Amino acid sequence: MEHFNPKLAAWLSKAPSTEAGLNNIQIPGKSTNLVWQNRYREPTRYELELVSQLERAFAEGITELASLVAALNQWGLRNEAGEAWSCASFQDEMARLGY
């Protein structure tokens, strides 16, 4: 099973593809069902740990940005550069990961 959609990487460019739809016609019953259709690659270990800690925070009822950032720092989760979180760096990271 694919854990990401390899065809998405070609669509990440800001310029339209000149090959849109090329070799993408699906024959009923013969196409592969991609579970992770919206991923162009597998998540990194860092991204998986961030998701795990965000789920933990939400399960504990943390919903405000400042409280979330404080909890991530208290639990020892650092950003990808190894630095403590700030509200601004967390928002920047969410924008980057959300593309």
The per-residue pLDDT for range 11-37, each reduced to its tens digit, is 566 665 566 555 566 666 776 666 666
First-to-final CA distance of the chain: 25
Residue 42's pLDDT is what?
A: 81
Query: Residue 74: which pLDDT band, with cuts at 50, 70 and 90?
Result: very high
CA 53 to chain centre: 14
The mean predicted confidence, pLDDT, of the chain is 82
pTM over 0.85? The answer is no
What pLDDT score does 43 carry?
Answer: 87
